[in-house]
């Protein structure tokens, strides 16, 4: 079983990061025997500097993964674990669950029809293919986002404003 601290294939390093256990030390939340503490899944934290073509639809994600994969995240989780008494593995699960479920939360907040509306705005502009259409799409998306932000910051929502997606006013009517 691979443990935290073992270098990823192609990572260019045979040494564990300074804040990670050496390959012969048990990973956090792992007993000294080297066996997982339970039947919970085990995830290997890997550093990644992959290659991708410029037109890869996941190029942005891949660039983020490559950029963030060299950060030493376990030191933060260990410090929080020590301060809170929550196991490192539970904190890691929490962070992953919060991040991974964030898209679902956004859909719940905006609604499927709202998401579909935003997708149509962008798709229509892209199919037109002009800078003017893209600028109009930007303005339309900005209007939706501004309405969604109403009440979340110091700006008071305009009572006359209507949601460009549902047509509801700032109070939901």
Paired tokens of 82 = 């020590």
Length of the chain: 173
pLDDT band at 137 (very low <50, low <70, confident <90, very high): very high
Nearest by Cα to 19 from 86, 114, 83, 88: 88
Residues 161 and 88 in one domain: no
> What whole-number distance in Å separates Cα of residue 121 and Cα of residue 133?
10
Nearest by Cα to 67 from 53, 86, 50: 50
pLDDT digits (tens, 9 = 90+) for 20-79: 554 444 455 554 444 555 778 888 889 999 899 988 888 888 888 899 888 888 999 999
What's the domain count of the chain?
2
Q: Burial of 95 by CB count in 10 Å (0-12 exposed, 13-18 middle, 19+ buried)?
A: middle
Structural domain including 172 reads: 111-173
Choosing from 102, 126, 160, the residue where a domain stops is 102
pLDDT digits (tens, 9 = 90+) for 74-93: 999 999 999 999 999 999 99
Residues 66 and 118 in one domain: no
pTM flag (> 0.85): no
């Amino acid at each position: 079983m691979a443990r935290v601290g073992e270098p990823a294939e192609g990572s260019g390093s045979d040494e564990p990061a300074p804040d990670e256990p050496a390959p012969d030390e048990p990973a956090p939340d792992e007993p000294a025997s080297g066996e997982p503490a339970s039947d919970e899944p085990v995830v290997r934290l890997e550093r990644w500097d992959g290659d991708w073509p410029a037109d890869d639809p996941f190029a942005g994600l891949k660039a983020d993964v490559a950029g963030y994969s060299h950060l030493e995240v376990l030191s933060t989780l260990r410090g929080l674990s020590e301060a809170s008494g929550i196991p490192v593995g539970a904190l890691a699960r929490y962070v992953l669950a919060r991040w991974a479920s964030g898209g679902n939360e956004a859909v719940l907040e905006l609604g499927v029809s709202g998401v579909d509306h935003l997708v149509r705005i962008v798709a229509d502009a892209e199919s037109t293919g002009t800078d003017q259409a893209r600028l109009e799409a930007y303005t339309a998306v900005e209007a939706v986002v501004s309405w969604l932000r109403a009440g979340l910051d110091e700006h008071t929502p305009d009572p006359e404003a209507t949601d460009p997606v549902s047509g509801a006013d700032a109070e939901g009517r």
